[in-house]
Homo-oligomer: A and B are copies of this chain.
Amino acid sequence: MSEIKIILVDDHQIVRDGIKALLSDSLNIKVIGEVKSAYELFDLLKTQIPDIVLLDVSLPTMSGIEVSKILSSDFPKIKKLMLSMYTSEDFIFNAIKSGVNGYLPKNITRNELLQAINEVSEGREYFSKTISDTILKSYLKSAKYGNNVSDDKLCKLTKRENEILLYVVEGLHNKDIAEKLYISIRTVETHKTNIMHKLNLNGTVDLVKFAIKNNIIEL
């Protein structure tokens, strides 16, 4: 069994340190690098090519899912293991679509992490129980009701809609947004309505949650 080379991507140093410490016990796994953002990762990849990238979903500026997409197209040989606090359908769906080889919630045990790394490094996929449950549930739902749940929602929004979404979830009122963008309140309303429809959301409350889940705003 050859050595498995890993790069960690997580913006919390303590998490990186922690995982590193965990993995240091395993003889066949070696952390060859650790970075806290997408940019640093791509920089590092110029000199170091790992077998697996351990990716946190929530990263500053560019989300783990974006990173995964780029890795899939530019470094198809590198395996991607996603690590996330969040286990919602949207996340998992988009992660899988982005080409990850595995998805783990952050409350996994050390052994599960090791197993996931080994599975993935041997070309198989690894989704922990919580995740596969969610996938199953989603699958059943879509089979029953025929709604193909999550398309790649965010990509469906236009530039303007994204811009307005941002202002909305920052707490600005329609009037403020209208003034800021020199457009009519009615236009803002229209955009908002369209956003809601495209994202299949129910109201402001869901919109805010969506924005946080998708890293559009910080708490």
* Contact pattern, A 161-174, Cβ under 8 Å of B = 1, otherwise 0: 00000001111010
Contacts of A206 in B (CB 8 A): 171
- Identify the closest chain B residue to A21 (Cβ): B21
* A86 and B171 form a contact (CB under 8 A): no
* Chain B CB within 10 Å, residue with most, of A18, A85, A113, A202: A18
Contacts of A21 in B (CB 8 A): 18, 21-22, 24
A154 within 8 A of B: no
* B12 and A107 form a contact (CB under 8 A): yes
| Shortest CB distance A165–B (Å) | 11
Task: Tell me how many residues of A have a C-beta within 8 Å of chain B.
Answer: 35
> What is the count of identical protomers in the complex?
2
* CA A166 to CA B170, docked complex, whole Å: 21
* B17 and A110 form a contact (CB under 8 A): yes
Stretch of A40-48, A68-76, A180-188, A207-215 at the chain-chain interface: A207-215
* A205 and B108 form a contact (CB under 8 A): no
Given contacts A22-B21, A213-B219, A219-B86, contact A14 B205 (CB under 8 A): no
* A113 and B14 form a contact (CB under 8 A): yes
A13 within 8 A of B: yes
* CA A174 to CA B111, docked complex, whole Å: 46
Chain A, 93-151, CB within 8 A of any chain B CB: 106-110, 113
* A107 and B219 form a contact (CB under 8 A): no
Residues of A within 8 A of B (CB): 11-15, 17-19, 21-22, 24, 85-86, 88, 106-110, 113, 168-171, 173, 202-206, 208-209, 212-213, 219
- Add 5 more A-B contacts to A14-B108, A203-B204 (CB < 8 A): A17-B110, A171-B206, A204-B204, A205-B208, A212-B212
